[in-house]
Amino acid sequence: MALISQEMISTIGRTYIKGQEWMNENGIDHCESVDVALAAETYRYFWKPKPVKTVLLLPRDSQTCSPDLGHKVKSAWLKLGEHTSPNAFVRTPYCLGYGEPEIVPTLDNIIAEKNSPIWHTLAELVQRNYSPSLDLVPRLEHKARILHELHRLGIWITHPSLFGDHAERPLIQQWWNGPGQFLQTEAPDALLIAFGRGLYDDLIACNVPVADYLYHPQGLQSDEHHAHQRRIVERVLKFNH
């Protein structure tokens, strides 16, 4: 289990302030605090593999308002070695409470939240089964196996923006100039893959050395798309072995 360095915490704080200023200037309302960004990073570092072979660039697709962060996820059973997973509620794939209201019983307003389609892609990457229609316990077991397999294979989910539900190019550029630079020392030889063609284009525009992209599940509309997806999954698996 890796820990966030004080230098990274300071960098996140400075980058968050810049991003908040940009959103205020552009009239964008946002309910998150820097504590949410730090909590999301705490999850990321808990699951950081050693070594990192592939970085999956994946924005957080929903905001986590600051009061939500105080609710705890019933995830004491989820361990990495002898260490127990963080349990603050954050809308990130590394937090099992996201999309699973039964294990965040004190947070009433997530009852309608559904499981993110990212789980289908993560399951495909690690060649594991996953179905959102399973009952709670087997579904959580599937997710836990996927997270452990991502860790074993050296695949690290990274958010290219500090803000949930916002990954505009200026925010991506701020992330890359700040926390993103730590990838050069933490994952110097890693293969960078974007989740989504649109994100891939944005990352390229921000001079992030991303190698390729995976389609969102709903974006797989043709045989060509499916062939591309298989090729990238095979590339990641080959690179990580």
What pLDDT shows up at residue 9? 97
3-class DSSP state for residue 13?
Answer: helix
Give per-residue pLDDT as tens, 135-169: 999 999 999 999 999 999 999 999 999 999 999 99
Token pair 């539900």: residue: 165
Q: Report which residue type is found at 50.
A: K
- DSSP assignment of 36-100 equals HHHHHHHHHHHT--SS--EEEE----S---GGGGGSB---TT-EETTEEPP-B--SSTT-TTTT-
The pTM score is 0.95
Is the per-residue pLDDT at 63 higher than 70? yes
pLDDT in the model for residue 55: 98
Q: Where are the domains of the chain?
A: 6-30+41-61+116-239
User: How far apart, in whole angstroms, are the C-alpha atoms of residue 111 and residue 108?
Assistant: 6
Q: What is the pLDDT of residues 7-52, one digit of tens each?
A: 999 999 999 999 999 999 999 999 999 999 999 999 999 999 999 9
3-state secondary structure (DSSP) of residue 197: helix
